Amino acid sequence: MNAPSALVVSILEIIEIALNLYVWILIIGAVMSWLVAFGVINMHNRVVQSISDVIFRLTEPALRPIRRVVPTVGGLDLSPLILIFLIMFLQRFLSHLVF
């Protein structure tokens, strides 16, 4: 493998790691919203409030356009699930690009 192709593979692997991390942030955000809705965690706690704010700031720019198109179904917000599927599609596309 020559140097330019090794560089491209390395960059694509870093992008894949970042996408995996973002999927986990989406999952944590969805679980946190359920826990807040059911009263399991208290949003008046500063630590919980800080974590929730960080997750909201990281995920909301990507989820907002999906929420405009896809309405909630039975009170469930499906936008994180749709975004996870889009990220999985992008990961598969990038992996096929390499090989």
Render each residue's pLDDT in the chain as its tens digit; 99 residues.
688 788 888 898 999 999 999 999 999 999 999 999 898 998 899 999 999 999 999 999 999 999 999 988 888 889 999 999 999 999 999 888 776
What is this structure's pTM?
Answer: 0.89
Domain ranges of the chain: 24-98
The encoded tokens of residue 20 equal: 């995996």
d(C-alpha 11, C-alpha 4), whole Å? 11
Dist. CA 13–CA 36, nearest whole Å: 35
| Coil, strand or helix at 70 | coil
